[in-house]
Amino acid sequence: MTTMTLHDETVLRDDTARLCAAAEFVREHDSASLLPLLLPGIEGPDLRALAGHCHFAHAGILVFPPDEATLRARLTDCGLTADTPSHPSVVVRERLARRHRLAAADLDVRILRPQVRGADGERRAVEVFALTVPPHSRLEPVAAAERTGGHEAHLGFEVDHPDPLVLRGLCAILARHGARPDGGGYNPHENGTVLYFTTPAEGVSGYRRLELYAHGDHRDSLAAHLDHPEGRPHPGPAERPPAETLLHLLTGAWTTQALASFARLGLPEAMDTRTARPAADLARLTGTHPRGLATLLRYLEMLGAVTSENHPEGHPEDGHRERCGDRPEEGFRLTALGALLRADAPASMRPLALMYGGPFYRSFGELDHAVRTGQPGFDHLHGESHFDHFARDPELADLFDRSMAASSRMFQPLPGHPVLTAAAQAPAPATVVDVAGGNGELLRQVLTAHPGLRGVLLERPHAVATARRLLDAAGCGARCAYRAGDFADVPAGGDVYVLARVLHDWDDDRCREILGHCARAMPAHADLLIVERLLPADGSPSAATAWDLHMLCNVGGRERREDHYARLLADAGLSLHGRTPLPLGAHVLHARRTPVPEAARA
């Protein structure tokens, strides 16, 4: 059973203390007294203009609860309303993504605004941004950096009657008194425009950031704000000239093949993260051409897979290399990113590189066919589905299974899901049934985290044999049973059923069949956990959108929105009870059997 560590308790207490401090700040301050604390020296007409057109509305803070229940408990601890509704934060999500070079879709940031009464009786709020960071999540370093930096802590002023002229005037006053533009955005979920500023260091409020919030769509004013030299976020694709952006996109295939070649040639194994080696030395070790390899390595450096250093020693070929325009002193070493492609790395992603740069790369050449016909390009290229094609080739089947296991990072927080934690705490040993569980990596993580649980794995015969070896090696084999079969063979009597990255392989009719088999096998008390990437309801950029195209071209399945899964579950006699974010844009959907009304039973 997973338990909270001393570190976990410490950071939760820190989040609670910061949340309580923000609530107390809002209770104590009002607009007239606060603006001079933020903008030392402001007085007279400028102070009256700011105070006359906007009012202190909230203090903003970013916290990192492991789950929603913990967040609600922390609100209660600080005297804030725990049942405050929440909705997605577009602005903070994108700011975090830029700052930490992550996909925005991987960051499930919510906004809550519990109400607080000010000293003057005015209604204000604590604006709580909550990024869910389950224990052992890869987002823990992000949370640590944000707690230290406090980048999202701010004081918010709401513009009373916003129009372009008012917003322009308020921005000009803030600039005159030392406030610098610091990004912003438009949130379509609440139809509101946000302009952020960094206030002078001489301010004594304890907050360095100020927000102007204007109800409505004021993206023209936002564009002018962001166009200020000090207000621009890091350059992104939208800021490049269109032709440059298109050229950058068209060369994406080069990235895939460069990383795949890097892995196929055994270069990560010939390098390490501590010592740089000249390209000529690496060429001899890997049987590659020095000039060709140096060219590849410099491209990989641009991708962040390797880094270069001036090497202290020359090389016999230096004269030739100088004539070719190379740098004779250049050496290369692995970065943490590149080290993930080593075959011996923990949770190595090398199989993914070989799969995406090999079988799936070739079938993507048939994307036209998939779009014209709705049928997989893979089937058109090979004359059979990828499941059948891989089943006839043991090496390909093994590579596919290892590539699926290689993306198991999304599973790391799953053992801490409340359903599995509750099952592990049950008086009698509970059983987790992993349906189409691949090589058993997910079940291994669950059983390792919860020594009191038992497992059952349903898979194809060759996968069962692989899973048995993996679970035996992990010391979990004695608590696991195996069943070779198809979806119609889902074992009955389990306590928790898991479908991880299964449903996206199939069309809706087949999904209903699979869910129906699970529903019939599940006792009334059982839970079903479904791990999938979810298409965003608002059409925002998402890793799931890219995988949706992949599924169309290579598998014939699809990614879906949450409401789409809810309908499929309902058709199978199941109901959706909630969702929890996972890394890599995935989510856990929690479902249970829909109770049958008494009248229907009669």
What's the CA gap between 387 and 401, in Å, rounded? 11
Residues 71-74: contacts with CB within 8 Å, 24+ apart?
Answer: 71/112, 71/128, 71/130, 74/12, 74/15, 74/16, 74/19
Backbone angles phi, psi at 157, to 5 degrees: -120, 125
What's the CA gap between 570 and 116, in Å, rounded? 40
- For residue 143, give the nearest of 61, 71, 64, 60 by alpha carbon: 64
CB 375 within 8 A of CB 382: no
Give Dmax (Cα) for the chain.
92
DSSP-assigned letter for residue 104: G
Bridge partners, 187 (sequence order):
192
CA 37 to chain centre: 37
Tokens of 510: 């087949």
Q: Which residues are catalytic?
A: 504
What's the CA gap between 232 and 240, in Å, rounded? 13
Measured over the CA atoms of residue 170, residue 173, residue 177 and residue 182, the dihedral's sign is: positive
Tokens of 453: 């649980």
CB 86 within 8 A of CB 110: yes
The answer for residues whose C-beta is within 8 angstroms of residue 420's C-beta and 6 or more apart is 414, 432, 446, 449, 450, 453, 496, 529
Helix or strand (DSSP H, E) at 215: strand 209-215
What's the CA gap between 167 and 594, in Å, rounded? 52
